[in-house]
């Protein structure tokens, strides 16, 4: 079974990357490899925009801790490098990336969503960086970009408490862009992608958003 699906929309200007790991889309080595391959395909394809979503009830609940504990030191380094490559490639994509989020979007999953340009969430979505609750710490964008999006004080609170917030609060503090009914999630993300690709700047393959230059993944 493919753990990440790559699909071209009926509108060929839009490509879909769908996380397809059962239940929680936990980030393991196999999923990360397929994720990277899908991002490369979307980046090289004729599409002008990318939608990142999931096939199940949850977007992504972060690292597969069970697998991580079993990895050798070398494979652990490979996992970390693969994860950071995913985040960097999403963050630095030459094409607009929209995340369509439902269910849990926490830890590494939340960092992946933050790496996208726009986040549309269903009302049942949950966000946060709960690493503190398991004696770990947030990586990459969890520390770097969260304060930019929600403010330093709110970011410190979320990181230190590990608290999980619902979609309405995530919208209120600026972590996400829109909250919609679950059945309208993909429809809303797709309509937004179409609105974006109609712009001539996107059609001309813009290389970077100005807002991205100030934050290095």
Catalytic residues: 111, 131
Burial of 205 by CB count in 10 Å (0-12 exposed, 13-18 middle, 19+ buried)?
Answer: exposed
Beta bridge partners of 66: none
Residue whose entry in the numeric block shows the structure tokens 């209120």? 172
Number of neighbours of residue 10 by Cβ within 10 angstroms: 7
């Amino acid at each position: 079974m493919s753990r990440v699906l790559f699909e071209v929309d009926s509108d060929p200007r839009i490509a879909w990357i769908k996380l397809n790991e059962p239940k929680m889309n936990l980030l393991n080595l196999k999923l990360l490899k397929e994720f990277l391959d899908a991002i490369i395909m979307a980046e090289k394809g004729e599409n002008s925009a990318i939608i990142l979503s999931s096939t199940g009830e949850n977007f992504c609940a972060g690292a597969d801790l069970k697998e991580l504990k079993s990895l050798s030191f070398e494979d652990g380094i490979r996992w970390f490098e693969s994860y950071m490559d995913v985040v960097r490639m999403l963050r630095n994509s030459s094409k607009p990336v929209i995340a369509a989020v439902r269910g849990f979007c926490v830890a590494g999953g939340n960092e992946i969503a933050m790496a996208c340009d726009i986040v549309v969430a269903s009302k049942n979505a949950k966000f946060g960086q709960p690493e503190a609750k398991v004696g770990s710490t947030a990586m990459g964008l969890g520390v770097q970009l969260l304060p930019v999006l929600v403010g330093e004080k709110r970011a410190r609170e979320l990181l230190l408490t590990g608290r999980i917030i619902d979609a309405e609060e995530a919208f209120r503090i600026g972590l996400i862009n829109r909250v919609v009914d679950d059945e309208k999630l993909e429809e809303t993300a797709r309509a937004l992608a179409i609105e974006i690709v109609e712009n001539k700047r996107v059609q001309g393959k813009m290389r970077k958003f100005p807002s991205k230059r100030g934050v290095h993944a």
